[in-house]
Amino acid sequence: MIIKSYILENDPKKTIKSKSILFYGVNIGLKKYFKGIIKEYNKQDLVKNFNQEELISNKSILYNEIDNPSLFNEDKCIFIEGATDKIFSYLEPIIEELKNNKVIILADALDKRSKLRNYYEKSKTAIAVACYEDNEITIKKIITNKLKDFRGLSTENINLILDSCGLDRVKLENELSKINTFFINKSIEKDKWESLLNLKSNDDFNSLKDAAIAGDKRKTNKLLSNTILDSEKNILYLNIVTQRLNKLYEIIDSSKNTNIESELTNLKPPIFWKDKPVFISQIRKWNKKKINAVLNQCYNLEISIKTNSVINKNILFKKLLLDICEQANPL
């Protein structure tokens, strides 16, 4: 049977009633949230975690877990991650025979032809839950609900969190955890709020990264002079740069001859609306061949940083940004 994700969020106890649930879709943060909820409501159960590949390589593992009682005779809650249709024929007879144990399936996007998705959607006892991308409304609702007891919570405060996390639930969960730990008295002070969210630092680096990838030499050089980079965060900075380049590659590869703005609108997960003009300016400067070349530079620099403790990480990272800026501009 199909249950909408928002219904399950509003009434998580529904997860107790089913012996097997399929969570599928691109929203990693939402799937992580549901996994946590299920663990919370099944504290008495023995939790087991597997991925699809290890179960396919040794098909006796899951049968043994289902058939053999635990040491203290607890019921088992078994999570299987990275599931695809490859595991369906193996799973189907097990799901049909479930009694006291639970099997929870976590999968990426599954189209309407998926055997796994169809089985769960048509089942009378198992549940299928689509975890689609969030939008600003759902993220703001989460923030408001999680911080409803905080004094001084304003629309501006909520928007600052949104600016910091975008539509990423995993980042949001981390920020909300920091806020709850830091503001023990649940009273918000704006300067401490902005400092905790590290907004100035994030904004400075994101501006630098965006300028370099857009090929804006003047802005890149100015920001390189004014931005203080934390040498302990160079791997994080590299990941942010490569994520953007990979996203540009994905957009260019899928757009073919279609309108770029239309492609951005239909992208899943969606691009935060504030970032669309930046993406458009960057896409115009790049092609797949150039992106691949720069990604190789990024990977080589990452290896150097991880294997050579004496190199000046900041100098090498700044040189990479200058190289990216240069390559964004056609000869």
Q: Hey, where are the domains in the chain?
A: 5-130, 136-197, 200-328
92-118 tens-digit pLDDT: 888 888 877 889 999 998 999 999 999
Confidence of residue 247 (pLDDT cuts 50, 70, 90): confident
State which amino acid sits at residue 256.
K
**Residue 50 and residue 62 in contact, taking contact as beta carbons nearer than 8 Å:** yes
At 88 the three-state DSSP class reads helix
Half-sphere exposure of 219 (CA within 13 A, CB side): 14
DSSP string covering 255-322: HTTS-HHHHHHH-SSPPPGGGHHHHHHHHTT--HHHHHHHHHHHHHHHHHHHH-TTS-HHHHHHHHHH
From start to end of 39-179, where are the E strands? 46-51, 76-83, 102-107, 127-130
Domain 5-130: what homologous superfamily?
Answer: P-loop containing nucleotide triphosphate hydrolases (3.40.50.300)
Work out the angle at residue 152's Cα, subtended by the Cα atoms of residues 147 and 158, and round it to the nearest 5 degrees.
55
Q: Is the pTM of this model over 0.85?
A: no
Domain 200-328, architecture per CATH = Up-down Bundle (1.20)
126-171 tens-digit pLDDT: 899 999 888 888 888 888 888 888 887 888 778 778 877 777 888 8
- Using left for φ > 0, alpha for ψ between -120 and 50, and beta otherwise, residue 80 falls in beta
- pLDDT at position 117 is 94
